[in-house]
């Protein structure tokens, strides 16, 4: 069975600190990869996605993620976080064959002003 793991349950940073949230998946085939964000009191929205091509993808609000196939990873990064980045972040993986689309358990990010 495919699974998606996110390394940290809760990350606390000060404003201007750099962010890296880990995401690993267990399936070795071709995959589609997503990062979604849920701001407090709001619904999930897409940050970025990777289907093919350049493994470094850029999303909204200064976020980027790098797909490293050999490590089965799709880590999310931002050079300098803001208080408004406080949210829960979900990695999600879809294999190109079959119906499995799996969300990770989420990482809660708290940015201190």
Partner 1 sequence: NAGVTQTPKFQVLKTGQSMTLQCAQDMNHNSMYWYRQDPGMGLRLIYYSASEGTTDKGEVPNGYNVSRLNKREFSLRLESAAPSQTSVYFCASSPGPYGADTQYFGPGTRLTVL
Residues contributing to the site for partner 1 (CB under 8 A): 4, 9, 32, 34, 36, 42-46, 49, 51, 90, 92, 94-95, 99-106
Q: Among residues 17 and 108, whose Cβ is nearest to partner 1?
A: 108
Cβ 15 to partner 1 shortest distance, Å: 27
Distance CA 23, CA 12 (A): 17
All residues at 6 or more sequence positions from 14 whose CB lies less than 8 Å from its CB, including other chains = 111, 112
Cβ 113 to partner 1 shortest distance, Å: 26
Distance CA 76, CA 1 (A): 24
β-strands 107-112, 10-14 pairing: parallel
Q: Among residues 17 and 49, whose Cβ is nearest to partner 1?
A: 49
């Amino acid at each position: 069975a495919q699974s998606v793991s996110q390394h940290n349950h809760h990350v606390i940073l000060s404003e201007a600190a750099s962010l890296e949230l880990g995401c690993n998946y267990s399936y070795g085939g071709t995959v589609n990869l997503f990062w979604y964000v849920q701001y407090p009191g709001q619904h999930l929205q897409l940050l970025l996605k990777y289907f093919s091509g350049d493994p470094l993808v850029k999303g909204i609000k200064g976020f980027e993620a790098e797909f490293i196939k050999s490590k089965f990873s799709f880590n999310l990064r931002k050079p300098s976080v803001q208080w408004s980045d406080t949210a829960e972040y979900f990695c999600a993986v879809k294999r190109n064959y079959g119906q499995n689309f799996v969300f990770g358990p989420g990482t809660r990010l708290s940015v201190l002003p």
